[in-house]
Structure 1
Amino acid sequence: MTRTPLNLALLAGLALTFAGATYAPPAAARTQVAVGVQIGVAPPAPRFERVPPPRRGYVWAPGYWRWSPRAHRHVWVGGSWVVVRPGHHYRPAHWVRHGHDWRFHPGYWGR
């Protein structure tokens, strides 16, 4: 009995496994997911944060109140440095009143 068909089958299986593991469809690679939060509780006033000295190539993203469903209250998230994106400006995270509810908009880079 010859081993050539078995070797070819193993080689083809390895090639298919490798191709499947490395392939990412172009549409899936650009997909963005956005999760919105809408609650009926207004966020507290923003906290004062002392902004550290400027860092080259970074912009300061100020802190914001995040809703914690587990704690049933707002939790403060401290500010942080974000890498600059040339040609864009950073728009910080914020809450917007919508009727009787509040909607959270995460920070993002705009043109």
Structure 2
Amino acid sequence: MKLTRILLAATVAAATLPAVAQVSVNINVPGLIQVAPPAPRYEPVPRPRSGQVWVPGHWQWNDRAYAWRPGYYVAARPDYAYAPGGWVRADGGWRWREGDWRRAERREDRRGDRHRRHDHDRYDHDDDHRGGGHCPPGQAKKGRC
């Protein structure tokens, strides 16, 4: 008896609903902006300061629109180079990637690495070399790797 009443109530409820229901869900992902940032502004870089690194200006999102934040100096870190932040496409919108510090290469390390890389590349240009390993830039499109 109780089961019959429940089934009857469910049938009446289903009959009163429209045949096709459309649900629109707008999920707001924190930190994701739907509007693309404007093109960067030209900003002349001021004279270098001893012990300081210039951080270029960029557009910031203030919950309603973009606002320009001018460049500024930050204290340099020994053995590190500053990599500026930037806007990147993500999940159907735009997300700000903060600038950060990366370990800087020493000049001697780069020079030694360049010579080793040059010797390695010389052997990779062989026409019989196909498949795995290193493929010099632009060579894969030409069918050489």
TM-score range, shorter chain: 0.5 to 0.7
Matching residue of 2:102: 110
* 1:1-111 matches, cutoff 5 A: 37-69=31-63, 72-111=64-103
Q: TM-score, normalised by structure 2?
A: 0.48
The one-letter code sitting in structure 1 at the alignment partner of 2:88 is V
The one-letter code sitting in structure 2 at the alignment partner of 1:63 is G
Give per-residue Cα distances to partners, 1:10-35, cap 9 Å, x unaligned: xxxxxxxxxxxxxxxxxxxxxxxxxx
Identity of aligned residues (%): 47
CA-CA distance at 1:82 after TM superposition: 1.0
CA-CA distance at 1:99 after TM superposition: 4.0
Q: TM-score, normalised by structure 1?
A: 0.62
When the two chains are superposed, the root-mean-square deviation of aligned CA atoms in Å is: 1.3
Distance (Å, rounded) in 2 between the aligned partners of 1:106 and 1:46: 16
* Structure with more contact order per residue of length (Cα contacts < 8 Å, sep ≥ 6): 1
Larger Rg: 2
Between the two proteins, the alignment pairs up a number of residues equal to 74
More strand by share: 1
Extract unaligned runs of 5+ from structure 1.
Answer: 1-35
Extract unaligned runs of 5+ from structure 2.
Answer: 1-29, 104-145
Distance (Å, rounded) in 2 between the aligned partners of 1:104 and 1:38: 8
